[in-house]
Amino acid sequence: MNDSRARHRKVFRAVCGSALLVLFGMGGCTRTDSDRVQGYVEGEFVHVASPLAGALVSLAVERGAKVVEGDPLFALDNAPEQALRDEAQRRLVQARANLEDARKGKRPPEIESLEAQLRQARAALAYSEKEFVRQGRLVHSGGGALRDHERALSTRDQDLHRVAQLEADLRTARLGSRIDQVAAAEAEVLAREATLAKTEWDLSQKRQAAPRSGLVFDTLYREGEWVGAGLPVVVLLPPANIKVRAFVPEIRIGSIHPGDRVRVTVDGVAEPFEGKVSFVSPRAEYTPPVIYSKESRDKLVFMIEAVFDPETAQKLHPGQPVDVWPGS
């Protein structure tokens, strides 16, 4: 009888011990589960587009491919932009030639022609001066007419003015254009350079490369289709743009700060992902309709965001539900 009672006591103690272990285990699980919050993976996509419209002539990537910054993505038909660029180049060459011409004097043959005219005018002046002197002597001696003397004076004065005019023309021919004309030519060159830069930029925008390294999440057009100005053709998902958003109860938000560590678990993956809090929303996601009471505060949640290193981020997928343990 005593042996039976002893056995019953041992069994009772064993059962109680097991029950306590289970209770302690449940208490531990309850504590861990209470630290967990629900969240999901969010991706901030990069939509690559051209600011100009055109037919899609080349699509260099496929959905799901990985690209490195600078890799070509797509090209649009650039025939109109190419023609405008070529025209701008030719007009710039013309404007620069006009500027150089404005800075220079007359061409050598033109200067030689003016010099020959000046020599001719000087020879005519020399003869008219001699004729004027001869007619004066004749008038004083009474052998000449006053009218002939006056005609010789007029011819001498005309030849004198002609020489002065040609000398001035020759000095002008050896100079460049006037300052305002040169300034206008310089302004024309600057305007043509700006036009060329604009057409070259337009031409370059018909080909787009990857602005960031990442995954080609989607391609929205096919070769041969018309793409409107500013409409994205390729959608990229850089690893740095993948984050987890979770919603933390109001009672715990005060203990969470940017830079805190977080653990994230995903269905089907045994090991948790390590990240850090990058953003804590200053505004509640739910506001009671009347007043803040003790009961209504339990309904308040605040959004937090967590980011990961690029290698870890590549293992997460936008829209994927996750469990988050802030401060772990």
Strand runs labelled E in the chain: 37-43, 46-49, 54-59, 66-67, 72-76, 207-209, 214-219, 226-227, 232-237, 242-249, 261-265, 273-284, 301-307, 321-326
| pLDDT value for 26 | 39
Contact, 60 vs 78, CB < 8 A? no
pLDDT average per 10 residues of sequence, the chain (328 residues): 46 40 38 74 95 96 95 96 96 92 71 83 88 82 77 86 83 70 89 95 96 95 96 95 89 88 88 91 66 57 86 87 82
First to last CA, the chain: 55
Block residue for tokens 């005060």: 254
Four-CA torsion 120, 122, 125, 130, nearest 10 degrees: -100
Q: What is the CA radius of gyration of the chain?
A: 47
Where do the structural domains in the chain lie, given as residue ranges? 52-77+206-237, 87-201
What are the distances in angstroms from CA 295 to CA 207, 244, 286?
A: 58, 28, 13
Four-CA torsion 101, 102, 103, 107, nearest 10 degrees: 50
Please calculate the CA angle 132-135-139 and round it to the nearest 5 degrees: 135
- The whole-angstrom separation of Cα 304 and Cα 253 is 9
Type of residue at 199: T
Sign of CA dihedral 257, 258, 263, 267: positive
Block residue for tokens 């005593």: 2
Contact, 305 vs 277, CB < 8 A? yes
Block residue for tokens 């490369």: 209
| pLDDT value for 54 | 96
| 200-210 pLDDT per residue, tens | 999 999 999 99
| pLDDT value for 79 | 95
**142's torsion region: left (phi>0), alpha (psi -120 to 50) or beta?**
left
164's enclosing H/E stretch is helix 146-173
| pLDDT value for 17 | 41
SS3 content of the chain, % helix, strand, coil (to 5): 50, 25, 25
93's enclosing H/E stretch is helix 79-103
Fold assignment, 52-77+206-237: OB fold (Dihydrolipoamide Acetyltransferase, E2P) (2.40.50)
Q: Report phi then psi at 14, rounded to 5.
A: -65, -45
